[in-house]
Structure 1
Amino acid sequence: MSTIKTKDGVEIFYKDWGPKDGQPIMFHHGWPLSSDDWDTQMLFFVQRGYRVIAHDRRGHGRSAQVSDGHDMDHYAADAFAVVEALDLSKVFHVGHSTGGGEVARYVAKHGQPSGRAAKAVLVSAVPPLMLKTAGNPEGLPIEVFDGFRKGVADNRAQMFLDVAAGPFYGFNREGAKVYQGVIQNWWRQGMMGSAKAHYEGIKAFSETDQTADLQAITVPTLVLHGDDDQIVPIADAALKSIKLLKNGTLKVYKGLPHGMLTTHADIINPDLLAFFTS
């Protein structure tokens, strides 16, 4: 397996496909998944001459199941460790859900200062803040995330099946075409990871206020979101993010779910390509 070691000694698994002199695209996965969630996108772009990179977040997939560091700062620093180890420059960074939060923190804190980030894409992403607070009344109440924590602690295996078979891909909607393989693959990826990382990661994706990250980003940024996202509601995410970005473009997909990069890759991939070549 291809791995790098972070400054705090955590082994991070990564994939690196395509020509070493190709334009690099780095993909950042969502909770509680792994780099495998990007296989469709990685194959699409490597076949078009790009160099595609994806890593498993600490505690997820094939990366080390360490006890600590399950927060957005460590997520971004780990991604930067991969970029530095591979000596990537002018990278296009694409993040889904929690991975979108990772991209926002990475670009703001590491990518722009180092000059290694050229463009960013936030897909169904969690910024600026998911949690309902006095200053963010449109957010989701803490009870929603406490329910996620309880599900992970009580019966993670069943919870992961329920999420994948229901709201994540919109399979709970009337008339939806249900892909059993997609459900099983989501479950497989989730169960590869650490329950502790998943439990603590809920706080990271729900309570991290990334307003300042978005305001700091100056590279061209594409924000993609489905208006039927049942996991990260668009009104509290993309519609707010686009107002905070200095150089952002928003595209809303009518009726598409949170996991649209998988269920509707035939739509998402060409839109990513158009942004990368613009």
Structure 2
Amino acid sequence: MTSVTTKDGVQIFYKDWGPKSAQPIVFHHGWPLSSDDWETQMLFFTGKGYRVIAHDRRGHGRSSQVSDGHDMDHYAADAAAVVEHLDLRNAIHVGHSTGGGEATRYVARHGSGRVAKLVLIGAVPPLMLKTEANPGGLPIEVFDGLRQQLAANRTQFYLDFASGPFYGYNRPDAKPSPAVVWNWWRQGMMGSAKAHYDGIKAFSETDFSEDLKSIVVPTLVMHGGDDQIVPVADSAPLSAKLLKNSTLKIHEKLPHGLCTTHADLVNTELLTFIAT
């Protein structure tokens, strides 16, 4: 198995496809999934001649199911360990959902001299939680509810999450794909319940405002207008404003899981942004 060991002894699994001399694209997956969630994008960009890399976050997929370190600082440092191990330079980093937070913190704190561009898709920055400074955020009860459901019956919770709001399959005109639902469930159940439980705090309570302000590379901020997981009004437009060099694209009626449900559109827009 291809992996790198971090400074605190965690094995991080990663995939590395395509020519080693090609420009690298690094994909950061969402909660509670794995690098498998990027297969459509990785195959597409490998076919376009790029080198594509994706890792499983600690406690997720095939990486070590450790008890600690399930926070954005460790997530970003783990991504940096993969990047440094492979000596990736001039890289494009693409993050979805929680992976968007991870990619943001990585670029802000570890990416100097190594990053060409950043892409945030349905991403959690700047801050999901409702606070006095962030009145449009979601109340803590929402995230407490996720924790309660995970602890009570993770298998059923994950099935309901994928069958409903993640892909917008709970909308009246939706056409659910059982295969997509079960693939989401499979990825989630590969990981550690402890990592996923702790990860809810990481993706909901981390404030990325200062990270966003410090990023100077061109950044594409893409979001679904019908995102039921990371509501668009308090995420993408606010991130775009904080970034120094951003392009904002909101696709009306698209769900949180748009990289799967609308892969052709996402891949085309990514290619346009990356290649120009």
Q: What's the TM-score once normalised by structure 1's chain length?
A: 0.99
Taking the aligned partners of 1:156 and 1:253, their CA distance within structure 2 comes to 31
Match of 1:203 among 201, 204, 210: 201
1:182 to partner: Cα distance = 0.4
**Matching residue of 1:57:** 57
Q: How does 1:120-269 map to 2 (within 5 A)?
A: 120-269=118-267
Which residue number in structure 2 is paired with residue 45 of structure 1? 45
Unaligned runs of 5+ in 1: none
- Secondary structure at the aligned position of 1:76 is classed as helix
Detail structure 1 runs of 4+ shifted over 4 Å in the superposition: none
In structure 2, what residue type is equivalent to 1:14? Answer: Y
Q: Deviations over 1:240-259 (max 9, x none)?
A: 10110000000010100000
Give the partner amino acid of 1:225: H
Distance in 1 separating the partners of 2:24 and 2:126: 26
Cα-Cα RMSD: 0.4
Percent identity for Structure 1 against Structure 2: 72
User: What CA deviation, in whole Å up to 9, does each residue of 1:122-174 have, x standing for no partner?
Assistant: 00000000000011000000000000000111100000000000000000001
- Gaps of at least 5 residues in structure 2 are none
The count of aligned residue pairs is 276
Q: Which whole-Å CA distance do the structure 1 matches of 2:256 and 2:235 have between them?
A: 12
Tell me the SS of whatever aligns to 2:53.
strand
In structure 1, the residue matched to 2:20 is 20
Structure 2 length-normalised TM: 1.00
The separation in 2 between residues aligned to 1:67 and 1:191, in whole angstroms, is 16
**2:268 is matched with which residue?**
270
The 2-side partners of 1:270 and 1:130 are apart by 28
Distance across 1 between alignment mates of 2:62 and 2:161? 22
Q: Distance in 1 between matches of 2:63 and 2:115?
A: 23
Residue 191 of structure 1 aligns to a residue in which SS?
helix
